[in-house]
Amino acid sequence: MLIRTAWLAALAAAALQLPARAPDIFFVPTWQPVIYRMLELAEVTRNDVVYDLGSGDGRIVIIAAQKYGARGVGVELDPKLIEVSRQVAREAEISERVTFIQGDLFQADISAATVVTLFLSPSVNAELEPKLRRELRPGTRIVSHQFAIGRWPPLKTVRAPEDKTDLFLWVIPRRELVGGDSQPKELQQEGQEIRRVLSKIFSERSC
């Protein structure tokens, strides 16, 4: 209840600010019980880094940090929603576990994610598919509220009884081994780069 009150107050305070450009979709908040189901579908733990693309008021990554102990990164174009997210994270005393980036979700570096959450639209999801397949590591889980990702078959689909919408789960598949013994070295370099990205995000965030 306290978190919900903080969200409402922060949204009211920031209502007159305008984004730099029109967002691809309008912000529609996800009900908190549906967020729990999304994060449970992804089997989120304290070892995960949850990225929410089009993070709105930050509620998904805030709940991922608060309830599951994960780290979270929200990417959102609208500056007023970024400010709401940061304010609520401060009041929830989890600022050290979450960060919010004002920017275009199509341009954001998402390679550090172990879980990606989406509540966008059919067209935006379809446009995101190549980026998700290209940038995310094998084993990364993707959960989308209500909308599928193009023609990419989900691994699992469940119905959220709270709003009667579908929740879709995908897992990035293991890549083919190429080049004999070269793959382990590449994976090691990829891991080092991911650790560098995470370190930069959490050390240079402005909340």
Establish if 186 belongs to a structural domain.
yes
- Identify the pLDDT of residue 175: 76
Encoded tokens for 184: 């382990």
C-alpha distances out from residue 57 to 52, 54, 81, 86, Å: 11, 9, 5, 9
Establish if 167 belongs to a structural domain.
yes
Q: How many domains does the chain have?
A: 1
**CA distance linking residue 4 with residue 74, whole number of Å:** 18
Model's pTM, two decimal places?
0.78
Establish if 21 belongs to a structural domain.
no
- Identify the pLDDT of residue 26: 74
- Identify the pLDDT of residue 191: 59
b/e map 12-33, b = 16+ CB within 10 Å: eebeeeeeeeebeeebeebebe
Q: What is the separation of C-alpha 44 from the centre of its chain, rounded to a whole number of angstroms?
A: 12
Bridging pattern class, strands 115-118 and 156-160: unpaired
Residue count of the chain, please give it: 207
- Identify the pLDDT of residue 189: 57
C-alpha distances out from residue 133 to 66, 111, 126, 136, 162, Å: 28, 10, 11, 6, 30
What are the average pLDDT values for consecutive 10-residue runs of the chain, which has 207 residues? Answer: 48 45 72 97 98 97 97 97 97 96 97 98 97 97 98 97 97 71 50 64 61
Establish if 83 belongs to a structural domain.
yes
For the chain, the first-to-last Cα distance in angstroms comes to 23
Nearest to 3 by CA among 60, 76, 75: 60
- Identify the pLDDT of residue 201: 67
Establish if 14 belongs to a structural domain.
no
**CA distance linking residue 61 with residue 202, whole number of Å:** 14
Question: What H or E segment, with its residue span, contains residue 81?
Answer: helix 79-91
**CA distance linking residue 49 with residue 114, whole number of Å:** 5
- Identify the pLDDT of residue 95: 95
- Identify the pLDDT of residue 204: 61
- Domain holding 147, by residue range, is 31-204
Establish if 64 belongs to a structural domain.
yes
Establish if 18 belongs to a structural domain.
no
- Identify the pLDDT of residue 13: 45
Establish if 1 belongs to a structural domain.
no
Residue recorded with tokens 């107050």: 9
- Identify the pLDDT of residue 181: 45
| CATH number of the domain enclosing 141 | 3.40.50.150
- Identify the pLDDT of residue 14: 43
